Amino acid sequence: MHDSLGIPACFSGERHGTDPIPAMATSSAVYRMEISGQSCLVTVTWCKDLLLHGLSIAFHGPGKPDEECACKLELKPWHFWKRQGSKDLLVEGTKVSAVWDLRAVVFNGETEPRSDYYVAVVCKEEVVLLVGDMKKEAYRRTGCRPALTDPVLVSRTEHSFGKSRFFARIKIHEKGKVHQVSVMEGKSICNMGSESHGEPEMEIAIDGVKVAHVKHLQWKFRGNEEMSIGGRRLEVYWDVHDWLFGSGPRRGLFLFRPVIGPRILSPSTVEEPRYPLLASFLSGSALSEEEDTYRVHEDWASGKGTSDFCLFMYAWKID
């Protein structure tokens, strides 16, 4: 079921293999929440192109990745009446309302809002999901109480574009600090006699502090490292094969997730259905973005997931 507000132009684009190339930057957050006692995944996506921002709210019932109820709208500067509104949807046979107020939203040039807004999901007189800093205004307008079960942030997916620098945001747990992740690709300088040769390398920094330095990237275009953020361990997996050997817009894929307790990744571990993206890194095969995110979230939808969080970062290299 779709609303009649139109599909934001920045949600469309050409395709790269099995994945569409976004027209501009996008940022998505996937939450697990309960609707009428059933686990449900909801994806809140923001996009930005040269002229406007867009918002999409999509619901996926348990075990039904292809069945989607969505509400999408464009935030055009001249369409002030669409900056506040609501839309009723039917999710798993239950009425759900998406409510938003973006009249005073502040983006500061970013894809995702920084302040002065709210986006709420209401079901049976409960606010089951609330995004934004205007929480009191959201409860006042909806006239509903907070849900007894808090939504859980399962993952974020960000598409970033650049020539050599790429940025994303990560939050290790729901009430934690938001950290900025930056990836820089470049070349080292090796002097050999009277000639200078450059070999590709990559640096990963969090909040401006370098946490990983990958040399000889032409041989290490797939790999993983463990790092620390604020005393918490984090592991990152990358696949930047297309950066080095592709043409046109070239995608680099990064997966960040916290390390909870001791973890040893053996071949049998990564081949389990719950780790399809890790297995794809090792095998060199590519899953589509929908397969990446949905298969990692399968256990969440059934209520059997752990507290793992994932950040998927798609870094599009444009010459």
147: phi then psi, degrees, rounded to nearest 5: -70, 150
Q: Where are the beta strands (DSSP E) in 49-194?
A: 53-60, 68-75, 84-91, 94-101, 118-123, 126-132, 145-146, 152-162, 165-171, 178-192
The pLDDT of residue 267: 40
Within a domain: residue 159? Answer: no
| Residues 202 and 122 reside in one and the same domain | no
Q: What is the pLDDT of residues 42-69, one digit of tens each?
A: 999 998 877 778 888 988 866 554 555 6
% of the chain exceeding 90 in pLDDT: 33
The pLDDT of residue 230: 74
Within a domain: residue 224? Answer: yes
Our count of domains for the chain comes to: 2
Q: What is the pLDDT of residues 76-103, one digit of tens each?
A: 554 554 688 888 888 878 899 999 999 8
| Residues 140 and 175 reside in one and the same domain | no
Within a domain: residue 24? Answer: yes
Q: What is the pLDDT of residues 186-229, one digit of tens each?
A: 887 655 544 446 789 999 999 999 999 999 999 999 999 998 87
The pLDDT of residue 123: 93
| Residues 145 and 252 reside in one and the same domain | no
Within a domain: residue 158? Answer: no
3-class DSSP state of 25? coil
Within a domain: residue 119? Answer: yes
| Residues 292 and 170 reside in one and the same domain | yes
pLDDT at 310 over 50: yes
Strands 310-317 and 152-162: parallel
Within a domain: residue 2? Answer: no
Q: Which of 266, 275, 270, 317 has its CA nearest to residue 296?
A: 275
Q: What is the mean pLDDT of residues 247-261?
A: 84
Among 150, 173, 189, the domain boundary falls at: 150
Within a domain: residue 1? Answer: no
More confident of the two residues 308 and 33 = 33
| Residues 117 and 203 reside in one and the same domain | no
More confident of the two residues 258 and 14 = 258
| Residues 50 and 181 reside in one and the same domain | no
Among 122, 150, 178, the domain boundary falls at: 150
Within a domain: residue 142? Answer: yes
> pTM of this prediction?
0.79
Domain that holds residue 84: 9-150
pLDDT at 272 over 60: no
